[in-house]
Amino acid sequence: MTKITQQLLNDGIIEEVDVTQSSSQPRSGGRPQTLLQLTPRVNHSLCFYVSTENICGNLIDQTNTIIDAYQQTWDLTQPENALSVERFVDLIKNIAIQLCGRNQLVLTDIKIITVATQGKLAQASGNVFYSQLFKDKHFNLTAAITAATGVESKIFNIAYCSSHRIQQLYPQHDSFIAVLLGYGVGVGIVIDKQIILGPEGTAPEISHVTYSEHGPLCYCGARGCAETYLTYHAILGKIARSEPRLLPDDSIMKQLEQINLELSRHNTLCEQVIREAGRVLGHVLSQLITIFNIKTIILNGEVSVFYPLLKEEIDAYLSGHSDYRYGAGSTHILREPDDNVAFLGLIELTNESYLV
């Protein structure tokens, strides 16, 4: 056993597991066989998954196990509901104290507090340039969380979390573009096994790339941003405005399922809205594909439930509007159906964010 291993055992970070010896294969002397594993309920962290619909705070341990969770729903889709940084940090602190208290921990036991959300976020510096959640712009969120709680903090773009997880699920793809289609539109660009980021670790964003200057008004103030066609709010809103009684007064997932059912019945309105979303995706992806020469696209998130029709439209757009016209090849458009991918990625990233 090495010195480091012995130290980790002494500190309770790892533990020995009984390995039952098979009687048919008696041990032939030498060092005893031991299996080491990370000790559960050690090195706790808090990770917050925050969307326009809810905030979900999770107490996790170093084995990526969720020990306890707290959820609160809200509606931040309207700009007037956006939170101030102070209110958000207060909430993080209150949830943190609650989750710790319920589990015989105190804030100083927590290794790190992470927040995953959408928006232009600098993951290395903790700066938030803008996010639909906040009325404030250009502030340092991690510094504010650390000042309030005394705990180290990090922020992640949700699409980055999902790309991190997808990398492990699809090890055969060294380079791919992951598109997270949910309450917002996220993108992760992986090149030669590296998730690429901008200055200060800024996650790439396609939400406010213009598709049409005459398109719908976006909350950012511009018209025809990719988000105004691609989020489930955009899709459900368009269908509800044209045919108010088509969709059930139910959860977002149930409403999306209903649209899928309508698509199988060749409902013209639903087909129009989803095909348009596919064209917008094709428009944005054609530029990324032409710039980076990436051949694999992996769609994920609730809206990827329309994968067959989206793929048809993306393929059609790419064949006419990318360097594939020069015979550069063709794209593989895949779908990862697990909507939990981004959340699992956040848990892993949280535990990779601190040194034991």
What is the C-alpha separation between 249 and 260, in angstroms, rounded? 16
Tell me the number of residues near Zn ion by CB under 5 A. Answer: 5
Least CB distance to Zn ion at residue 221 (A):
7
* d(C-alpha 128, C-alpha 89), whole Å: 13
Q: Which two tokens stand for residue 43?
A: 């090195």
Q: Two tokens at 119?
A: 């928006």
- Tokens 């940090």 belong to which residue? 89
Site string for Zn ion, 225-264 (x = CB under 5 A): x---------------------------------------
Range 75-104, binding Zn ion (CB under 5 A): none
Binding mask 213-232 for Zn ion (x = CB under 5 A): -----x-x-x--x-------
Contact 136, 84 (CB under 8 A): yes
Contact string (CB under 5 A) for Zn ion, positions 15-54, x = contact: ----------------------------------------
Identify which of residues 222 and 291 has a Cβ nearer to Zn ion in the complex.
222
- Residue 152: which of 84, 96, 224 has the closest Cα? 96
Which one, 135 or 254, has the nearer CB to Zn ion?
A: 135
Q: How far apart are CA 290 and CA 266, in angstroms?
A: 33
The C-alpha angle with vertex 174 and arms to 173 and 180, in degrees rounded to 5, equals: 65
Of 93 and 223, which CB lies nearer to Zn ion in the complex structure? Answer: 223
Q: In whole angstroms, how close is the CB of 208 to Zn ion at the nearest point?
A: 4
| Pairwise CA distance, residues 76 & 51, whole Å | 8
CB-nearer residue toward Zn ion: 99 or 121: 121
When the beta carbons of 80 and 192 are compared against Zn ion, the nearer one is 80
Shortest approach of Zn ion to residue 333 CB, angstroms?
Answer: 25
For Zn ion, which is the closer residue by CB, 26 or 221?
A: 221
In terms of CB distance, is 120 or 208 closer to Zn ion? 208
Work out how close the CB of 74 gets to Zn ion at its nearest, in angstroms, rounded to a whole number: 21
d(CA 23, CA 29): 14
**Least distance (Å) between residue 229 CB and Zn ion:** 11
Shortest spacing between CB 209 and Zn ion, in angstroms: 9
Residues 176 to 215 in contact with Zn ion, rule: CB under 5 A: 208
Burial of 156 (0-12, 13-18, 19+ CB in 10 A): buried
Nearest approach, Cβ of 77 to Zn ion (angstroms)?
Answer: 13
Segments of 10-138 assigned E as strands: 14-17, 35-38, 45-50, 54-60, 66-73, 113-117, 120-121, 127-130
C-alpha 112/C-alpha 118 separation (Å) is 20
**Contact residues for Zn ion, defined by CB under 5 A:** 208, 218, 220, 222, 225
